[in-house]
Amino acid sequence: MNRLLERQIKKLLGDEYYKNPAFQTKVFQDFLESVDQSYSFKEKEVRLLERTLDLSSQELNDANKQLKKQNEEIKKLASLDSLTGLSNRYVFNNNLNLSLKRARRYKRKFSILFIDIDRFKIINDSLGHRIGDLLLKAIATRLKRCVRDSDTIARLGGDEFTLLLEEIRTPADAGRSAQKLMEELSRPYKLEGHELMTTVSIGISTYPTDAENIVDLFKNADTAMYQAKESGRNNYKFYHYSMGVKADEYMALESRMRKALERGEFELHYQPQLNLETGLICGMEALIRWNSPEFGLISPMNFIPIAEETGMIIPIGRWVLQTAACQAKKWQEQGLYKGHLSVNVSRRQLQDPGFLDIVDEVLKDCQLNPKFFEIELTESTVMQRPQFTMKLLKELKARGIYLSIDDFGTGYSSLGNLKQFTIDKLKIDRSFVRDLDNDADAKPIIEAVIAMAHTLKLLVIAEGVETEEQLAYLKGRNCNQIQGYWLSKPLPAGDMEALLKLRKKYI
């Protein structure tokens, strides 16, 4: 008999009754046995029910854990950028609101940095969106390495990122962070067989110096970022209240530019180029300057972007081509110079349907042999519409014009791509030459460009050479030509003519 049942019967009847012979009869024993069996069956049912309840409880716990995990995933998706894993706009705005409240309460400062990838569109146009997405992910990884845990880095969309710098002491702290970001993001990226180099433009707005509300802080950081782009890209700018009147200044500058062409206020300066084998001047580059009666000598960085946007670059560009070609012809007739004279051509000029006609008319009017005329295109211009550019370069080459790629290394092409284009010379960007002494990556990049360019039978010229050490290094690596302040700054035509008359051997 089940012991538990036996103890319960004893407790119910009492020990003396339970031992009474009357209760030991077969009938009573059979009764006890049936009760025992019934009790055992009920006990099994109870145990089965307990196990069922235990199982249901476990399933419920598992379901709760799964639901919690799903909620966490949903929360994560709602707060993170799906491509890069950075915070999204919602989280950035929320953190910015909290930061603003703390800053107001405790009299603190913070800065917003708007970060835009320079010429990012060219990657998607030339290499495809997959490579573009991989680059954005790589940039996000580097950004995370550059910020403190207390800061917020977010992707707003496209190639725009924002950084919230908490509790800075002065705006200069934000400037140092921007410089650190620029250095980190400018290192080469290796993505699926492509080695890409990119730069960033950064705008900085600080609370409470530049604005005391979120809308104006955002707007001012964005304004400063575009100012950085217009200043040549690959830099950062602090917001200044004067940027708010930029639109009025823009319209005024455009109007003055139109009059400047009519009044003859533009002039060309010429910077010589040196053959490192002969030590003699072998070429020169024509560079436009605006000599305004009101503002003095205006840098092309301040008016060329506006000229391109408004279309004024077409008549200004024609004037540059005409003036340079006729000056080259004059020096040839004087027996002073028989090298190339190069002129920069912008993307807007290149895409003008009448560009080839302009070139033909200029060469005819100046009676200049096309082989002495050199057209420089930036790497980004070449890669923006490669098929169109390839066809146009063939047309120029058929005329006998010398062709070169300017600022090589700052865009997204490779030397392999350049085999498709009928070019004669590569110009290594000045940023690599400038960094020779303090950037370990600069030397191998320069050496690789020189070696591969020579393999493709292209000449190589390095611009921005300013020191003896830079010159010696480039000469030792078989760079063909150099250009920069070591040789001469850009000179007005009269000063350049005097330099040519010296017929000097420089090395």
Say whether pTM exceeds 0.75. Answer: no
Query: For residue 52, what pLDDT is reported?
Result: 60
Residues of the chain with pLDDT under 50: 1-2, 5, 11-13, 17-18, 23, 27, 245, 411-412
Tokens 């031992």, residue located: 19
What does the block give as tokens for 219?
A: 């707007």
What's the confidence (pLDDT) of residue 122? 83
From residue 251, give the alpha-carbon distance in Å to each of 82, 247, 309, 310: 41, 6, 12, 10
Q: Pick from 215, 203, 219, 177: which is nearest to 97 by CA? A: 215
Angle of the 355-366 helix axis to the 386-398 helix axis, nearest 10: 20
Pick from 238, 257, 89, 128: which is nearest to 174 by CA? 238
DSSP designation for 80: B
Q: Position of tokens 């480039």?
A: 474
| pLDDT at residue 48 in the model | 65
Kindly calculate the radius of gyration of the chain based on its CA atoms and give it in whole angstroms: 38
Q: Where are the alpha helices (DSSP H) in 80-128?
A: 89-106, 120-127
Residue with tokens 């020169």: 284
Residue 436 structure tokens: 């020779």
- Tell me, what's the pLDDT at 269? 96
Q: What are the distances in angstroms from CA 466 to CA 78, 425, 488, 489?
A: 52, 21, 9, 10
User: Residue 435: what are its φ and ψ, rounded to 5°?
Assistant: -90, 10
The first and second tokens of residue 468, run together, are 């003896």
pLDDT at 6: 54
Listed residue (249, 196, 202) closest to 222, CA to CA: 202
Which residue is associated with the tokens 């007739």? 333
* pLDDT for position 293: 84
Do 309 and 229 contact (CB within 8 A), yes or no?
no
Tell me the CA distances in angstroms from 202 to 148, 161, 205, 445, 506, one per residue in order.
18, 10, 10, 25, 41
Nearest to 407 by CA among 430, 375, 439, 425: 430
306-309: list long-range contacts, CB under 8 Å, 24+ apart: 306/250, 306/253, 306/254, 306/257, 307/257, 308/346, 308/347, 308/348
List, for residues 403-424, the tens digit of each pLDDT value: 998 877 554 455 556 667 889 9
Cis peptide before 208 (omega within 30 of 0): yes
pLDDT at 245: 44
Q: What is the pLDDT of residues 195-247, one digit of tens each?
A: 888 899 999 999 988 888 988 898 889 888 988 887 778 888 888 755 554 55
Question: Nearest-CA neighbor of 201 among 168, 233, 227?
Answer: 233
Q: Where are the beta strands (DSSP E) in 173-233?
A: 189-191, 194-196, 200-207
Q: Does domain 89-239 have CATH number 3.30.70.270?
A: yes
Give the domain 247-501 fold: TIM Barrel (3.20.20)
